[in-house]
């Protein structure tokens, strides 16, 4: 007992010696110190709450993506994607006025031949129409060409997907390049050269090739394809303010408990037999689709009422009217058939949309709506530069070769035979095809998910700038 008393007394003495005096802590009782500590505590608490909210939002968004749903607004996606056609339009306008500003015509030069087109169809309408038509032809042949290659290359072999994609890209590049050379022959560019070699002042050959290289149809098809891809995600977009609400309502009791506890128990077992994606499409949807959702809900309500026996036939039997029961039965069966057919068609459309979204995500390696708009704008800018640069480069090699000389000149016995002392076309064709294959291979399903859309867009832009200046250089437009 004495030992315990001694130990207690020693502890009290140590506590008295170690405890600071009230005089020493008077500065802690000053208003500035108290307010400072309270402000720091409130700031830390606020930062902690922000971190918790961000973590909770990321968890909600992650769970939605795992079930095929995405947080976002369809109208906002369309508004953001409108920068893509705007970028393409501004690029076309800049390139359309660039020859007039950088390489103007000499008004005193009388060697320039007059335009062969009628006044009702002046340049550049023929060039743009021809380039668009040739692109449409090559675009329509993509499907049959890919099907033919898929039949020739067995899918059972290893790396068959990569071999099929690369073979298709190579053959389609050959087709595109051949059509481009055919367009130069159809426009009769060689007939309108007032110089032996292709230069920028060889009017109107340079401007004809320039307008022919601006493939408006290719960019228009790419922009339309982008809008169509975004539209495939319309039914699986959850507005940002309703993401947590949807999870709470879709998760039933677990969501209600999480909402009551204010916590993070949003992840759990879902409704039996109903996925989150089906729950959103069927019952929630975007604001624009409320009418369609209400119609689907009415159809399902009628089907459930018929399945539980709450139909017109039972009502007619309860009233004892046999004729009315027969009529009501006929109406019931008719309505049931209509509801079943409508529901089957609706389910089939949903399955197709899910499959299309999965295919797009396999190609791009990510959801299309998650691709930044800047990358899409960069892709369209790069495609315009690539088309312009490669066409200028290829046309210069074609016009330097003997294959561009008209048959009337080669058939004239008074003229020396046409020879090609420098194989310009033979040396340029492999380079143009290699660039086409390189850029096409970047956007194949085996390659694009591994390198990313950003890398493919940056590489395409660099190649486009290089080909653009190379095409200007061979036409002597940089000197």
173 inside domain: yes
Token duo for residue 418? 């046409």
Query: Residue 436 sits in which domain range?
Result: 75-106+116-233+370-474
Token duo for residue 134? 């040739």
Give the integer Cα–Cα distance in Å for 80 and 374.
10
Name 234's Cβ contacts closer than 8 Å, sequence gap at least 6. 74, 286, 289
pLDDT confidence of residue 188: 86
pLDDT digits (tens, 9 = 90+) for 164-211: 999 999 999 999 999 999 999 999 888 777 677 788 886 688 999 999
Measured in degrees and rounded to the nearest 5, phi and psi for residue 311 equal: -120, 180
Is there a single domain that holds both residue 415 and residue 451?
yes
Last residue of a domain, one of 310, 332, 357: 357
441 with 171: CB under 8 angstroms? no
Is there a single domain that holds both residue 100 and residue 217?
yes
Pairing status of strand 237-238 against strand 70-71: parallel
Count the residues in the chain: 479
Measured in degrees and rounded to the nearest 5, phi and psi for residue 71 equal: -85, 125
pLDDT confidence of residue 69: 82
Domain count across the chain: 3
Last residue of a domain, one of 357, 379, 409: 357
pLDDT confidence of residue 215: 87
Is there a single domain that holds both residue 386 and residue 341?
no
2 inside domain: no
Give the integer Cα–Cα distance in Å for 382 and 457.
8
Give the integer Cα–Cα distance in Å for 363 and 452.
10
7 inside domain: no
pLDDT confidence of residue 109: 56
* Residues in the chain where the model's pLDDT stays below 50: 1-39, 41-42, 44, 253-274, 284-288, 290-295, 297-320, 323-325, 327-328, 414-417
């Amino acid at each position: 007992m004495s030992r315990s008393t001694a130990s207690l007394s020693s502890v009290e003495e140590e506590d008295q010696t170690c405890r600071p005096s009230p005089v020493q802590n008077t500065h802690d009782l000053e208003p500035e110190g108290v307010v400072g500590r309270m402000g720091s505590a409130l700031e830390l608490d606020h930062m902690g709450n922000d971190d918790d909210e961000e973590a909770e939002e990321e968890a909600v968004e992650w769970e939605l993506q795992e079930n095929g749903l995405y947080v976002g607004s369809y109208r906002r996606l369309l508004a953001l994607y409108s920068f893509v056609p705007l970028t393409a339009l501004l690029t076309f306008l800049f390139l359309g006025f660039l020859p007039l500003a950088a390489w103007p015509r000499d008004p005193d030069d009388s060697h320039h031949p007059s335009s062969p087109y009628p006044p009702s169809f002046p340049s550049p309408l023929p060039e743009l129409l021809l380039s668009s038509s040739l692109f449409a032809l090559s675009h329509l042949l993509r499907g049959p060409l890919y099907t033919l290659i898929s039949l020739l290359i067995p899918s059972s072999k290893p790396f068959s997907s990569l071999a099929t994609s690369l073979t298709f890209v190579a053959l389609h590049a050959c087709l595109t390049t051949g059509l481009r050379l055919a367009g130069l022959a159809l426009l009769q560019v060689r007939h309108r050269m007032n110089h032996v070699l292709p230069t920028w002042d060889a009017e109107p050959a340079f401007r004809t090739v320039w307008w022919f290289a601006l493939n408006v149809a290719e960019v228009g098809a790419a922009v339309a394809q982008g809008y169509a891809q975004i539209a495939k995600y319309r039914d699986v977009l959850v507005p940002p303010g309703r993401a947590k609400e949807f999870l709470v309502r879709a998760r039933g009791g677990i969501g209600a408990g999480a909402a009551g506890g204010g916590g993070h128990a949003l992840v759990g077992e879902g409704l039996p037999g109903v996925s989150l994606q089906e729950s959103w499409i069927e019952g929630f949807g975007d604001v624009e689709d409320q009418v369609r959702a209400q119609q689907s809900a009415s159809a399902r309500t009628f089907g459930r009422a018929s399945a539980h026996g709450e139909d017109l036939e039972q009502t007619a039997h309860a009233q004892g009217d046999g004729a009315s029961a027969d009529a009501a039965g006929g109406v019931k069966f008719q309505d049931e058939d209509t509801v079943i057919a409508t529901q089957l068609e609706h389910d089939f459309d949903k399955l197709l949309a899910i499959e299309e979204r999965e295919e797009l995500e396999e190609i791009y390696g990510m959801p299309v709506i998650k691709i930044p708009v800047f990358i899409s704008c960069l892709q369209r800018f790069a495609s315009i530069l690539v088309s312009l640069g490669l066409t200028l480069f290829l046309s210069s090699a074609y016009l330097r070769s003997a294959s561009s000389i008209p048959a009337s000149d080669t058939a004239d016995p008074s003229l020396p035979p046409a020879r090609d002392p420098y194989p310009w076309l033979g040396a340029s064709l492999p380079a143009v095809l290699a660039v086409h294959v390189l850029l096409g291979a970047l956007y194949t399903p085996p390659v694009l998910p591994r390198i990313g859309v950003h890398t493919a867009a940056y590489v395409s832009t660099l190649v486009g700038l290089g080909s653009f200046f190379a095409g200007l250089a061979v036409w002597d437009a940089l000197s």
